[in-house]
Structure 1
Amino acid sequence: MPFDLGATVRLTADCLDPGGTPTTAATAVVTVTLPDGTTATPAVTETSTTGRYQADHITTLAGRHTVRWVWTSPAHAYTDAFDVREAAPPAIISLADGRRHLKKTDTADDDEIRVWIEATTRAVEQFVGPVVVRTVTETVRFTSARAVALTLTPALSLEGVTSRRPGGPAYRVEDLKLDPATGLVETADGGVLYGPLDVTYRVGRTVVGANILAASRIILQHLWRTQQGPGRPQRGVDDYDVSEPLPGLGFAIPNRAVQLLDPDSLGPEVG
C-alpha cells in the first residue's frame, strides 16, 4: 500500500547464505533511491530474529522509491520498492464514507479502502473530468492564437500564466479571461497570446452532484468486490454488471454508475 508523504517507512529484509538460511552478516547497507534520483542510506540494525534487518526511512518526496539491500559475509542482495502518495491525493469520497458504504465497522481495511477510493476517483474523473478541487500546471504548446484551450474542465480560475520562451511576453491573470466550461483562455482586450505557455489553474467542482457521489460509491463497491474474490451471493448484483468495457476504463465502471455519470460525461472520447 502507498505510504503518506512524511510518514516513516520501516524497511525489512533477510540476509540469506548460499543455502537460503537466514544469517548474520558482517555488514549491511540499504540504499533508498527517491523519485528525483537522489539517494538515502538510513541506519540498519539486525532485529532479534537472526538474519532479519530493518531500517527506517522518513519520506520526503511523493512517487516510486526503490530499495536496494546489500550484505557482505555472506554476500547477498535484495531489491524492493514502495510508493508514497502526494501530500493531498484527490479523493472523491472520504474514508469514512467509503468505510460506511462497504459496511466496514472497524479500521482494519482502511489502507486498502483508501487505495480503492483513489482508483475510483481516477476512474470517475476520466469519465466526467475533474471533480476534486485542486491546482494543476499545464504546458500549452502553440505559437500565437486569439484563444487557447486548457485540457481540464471545469476550470475554476487562473492562478498564473508564464511564457516558456526566453524573453517572452508576461501575462497578468487580471488581463485574461477564462471560460470555466470550455477551458478557453483569451486576453480581455482581444489581443493575441504568444506561446508556449505554462498555465497554472484550479480545476474541479465546488459542488459535487449527488449523481457523481452515488456513482463513486457504486464503483468503489464494484472494485472492492472484484478484488475480494468469490463469496456468498449478494443482493443487487445487477447494479455491478458491466455490459461492455469503456474506452480507457475497461470494466472499472459498472452499468449503474455509467447511467448516473452520463449527465456529466465527457462523451464518446472518454479515455
Structure 2
Amino acid sequence: MAIVTLADAKAQLNISASDTSQDVELQVYVDAATAAVETQLGQVVEPRTIVDQLDFASSVTAFLLRSVPVVSLTSIVALDGTQTWGVSPSVVRVDGGSGCVTVLSGPPVKGSVLATYQAGMTVVPAHFRLAALIIVQHLWETQRGTMGVRLNSGGDDNYVAGRGFAIPRRAIELLGPQLPGVA
C-alpha cells in the first residue's frame, strides 16, 4: 500500500486517468515515496501488519515493539509455539505512540517470541500526503529530464545539503523534523 494512490499521483503529474501506459512504473515511484516519508518520519504511516521477532535473555514484563505508532496488538507467541500470551487490555497495555507493551497479568514474556501487530496511522495527515506527492513528482520529473537539474548550491531550494537528492526541501519541511530513533 501507499500513502497516496496511483490516481493521486497521476493527478499531481497531470497524467490522464485513462492513460495506463505508465502505471506500473509510476506505482514504483508511489511506493518509493511512501518509504521515503516513513524513513524521514521514523514511523509507519501506511497501516500494515508487522511481525517482530524479539529475543529476551530473561523474563520481561515490558518491551518495545519496533514500529510505531501501534494501532493494535494481535498476538505474542513463543517462536517454538510452546506458549502464547494473552493480548486483551486486561492482560497487556500497549502505548501506541512509543510501542511499549506492558504485561499487566499472567506470565512475563521470555525467550524468542513473535509479536504480531498493526502499525500505522488511522488517518494520514494532509501534509504527509502532500509531501509524498511532491516526492513522487520530483522523482518522476528528474528521471524524465524535465526539471533542468542544477547542481549548484546557490539559490537552489530543492535540495538540503547533506541530505541527498531524493527528497526535496519542501517535502522535508512538510514532514517536520525526523524523530530520534531508539538505540
Question: Same-fold call, TM > 0.5?
Answer: yes
1:111 — aligned with what? 24
1:95 — aligned with what? 6
Residue 122 (structure 1) aligned to one of 12, 15, 35: 35
Structure 2: stretches of 5+ with no match in the other structure: 150-154
* Post-superposition offset of 1:193: 2.0
Residue 68 (structure 2) aligned to one of 142, 150, 153: 153
> Matched residues, percent identical?
37
Residue 137 (structure 2) aligned to one of 221, 224, 229: 221
> What is the correspondence of 1:60-79 to structure 2 with a 5 Å cutoff?
none
Residue 262 (structure 1) aligned to one of 153, 176, 179: 176
Cα distance, 1:260–1:136 mapped onto 2, change above 3 Å: same
1:197 — aligned with what? 113
Question: Which structure has the larger Rg?
Answer: 1
> What is the correspondence of 1:162-173 to structure 2 with a 5 Å cutoff?
162-165=77-80, 167=82, 169-173=83-87
Higher helix share: 2
Question: SS at 2:73's partner residue?
Answer: strand
Q: 2 CA distance for matches of 1:244 and 1:191?
A: 51
Whichever residue aligns with residue 174 of structure 2, its letter is: L
* Post-superposition offset of 1:221: 0.9
Question: SS at 1:142's partner residue?
Answer: strand
Q: 2 CA distance for matches of 1:155 and 1:133?
A: 9
Tell me how many residue pairs correspond in the alignment. Answer: 171
**Scaled by the length of structure 1, what TM-score is found?**
0.58
**Scaled by the length of structure 2, what TM-score is found?**
0.84
Question: SS at 1:141's partner residue?
Answer: strand
Runs of 4+ in 1 over 4 A off after TM superposition: 230-233
Cα distance, 1:190–1:114 mapped onto 2, change above 3 Å: same
* Coordinate RMSD, CA, aligned: 2.3
Residue 253 (structure 1) aligned to one of 146, 162, 167: 167
Higher strand share: 1
* Post-superposition offset of 1:195: 2.6
* Post-superposition offset of 1:232: 6.7
